[in-house]
């Protein structure tokens, strides 16, 4: 790799971004290389202009409806999330085994137990299938942790 190729990625480093040794080596190279000096000058001369250009484009757009649109989205999101949070809060006070009546009657509650750790050194994977009223969910137990796969009936949007 020529020297220019080596130093090219360093040309627009800001103060402190290069280790002192590299910064010194870069400066020595720039002192000796007219091409890299010119290239660096070009880059530095145009720094900041891209930001100016994009901000100018943004300034040219009408943002009058923006805030209201954001708040409308916030309101929609909040109403969707309320259902999940309500269920989680309700569920907290009961055991996982007991049957519950969350707002989502079609919910599939799958409970997994942490089994004994497989023998060290032997990568093992144990496959389980757990069945609920709403389908079969697959759990792959590995040394690195469980992998939970949705069943064919899981994930329907309920509409």
Span 113-132, contacts to other proteins by CB under 8 A: 113-117, 123, 125, 128-132
Query: How many angstroms separate the CA atoms of 32 and 159, rounded?
Result: 70
Sequence length of the chain is: 159
Provide the greatest CA pair distance for the chain.
78
Decide if residue 91 touches other proteins (CB under 8 A): yes
Residue 27 near other proteins by CB under 8 A: no
Closest distance to other proteins from the beta carbon of 118 (Å):
11
Among 21, 31, 111, 122, binds other proteins (CB under 8 A): 111
Given a contact cutoff of 8 angstroms between Cβ atoms, the answer to whether 100 and 109 are in contact is: yes
Shortest reach from residue 54's CB to other proteins, in Å: 4
CA distance 22 to 93: 60
Binding pattern for the stretch 29-68 against other proteins, x by CB under 8 A and - elsewhere: -----xxx-xx-xxxxxxxxxxxxxxxxxxx-x-x--xx-
R_g of the chain, CA atoms, integer Å: 30
Query: Which of 21, 80, 119, 120 contacts other proteins by CB under 8 A?
Result: 80
Among 24, 32, 69, 124, binds other proteins (CB under 8 A): 69
Rounded Cα distance, 74 and 120, in Å? 49
């Amino acid at each position: 790799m020529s020297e220019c190729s080596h130093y090219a990625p360093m040309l627009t480093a800001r103060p402190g971004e290069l280790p002192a040794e590299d910064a010194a080596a870069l400066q020595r190279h720039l002192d000796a290389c007219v091409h890299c000096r010119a290239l660096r000058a070009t880059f530095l001369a145009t720094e900041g202009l891209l930001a100016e250009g994009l901000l100018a484009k943004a300034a040219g757009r009408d943002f009058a409806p923006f805030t209201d649109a954001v708040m409308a989205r916030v309101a929609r999101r909040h109403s969707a999330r309320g259902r999940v949070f309500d269920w989680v809060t309700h569920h907290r006070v009961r055991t996982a085994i007991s049957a519950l009546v969350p707002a989502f009657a079609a919910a599939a509650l799958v409970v997994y137990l942490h089994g004994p750790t497989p023998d060290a050194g032997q990568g093992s994977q144990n496959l389980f299938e757990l069945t609920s009223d709403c389908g079969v969910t697959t759990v792959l137990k590995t040394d690195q942790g469980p992998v939970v796969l949705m069943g064919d009936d899981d994930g329907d949007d309920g509409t």
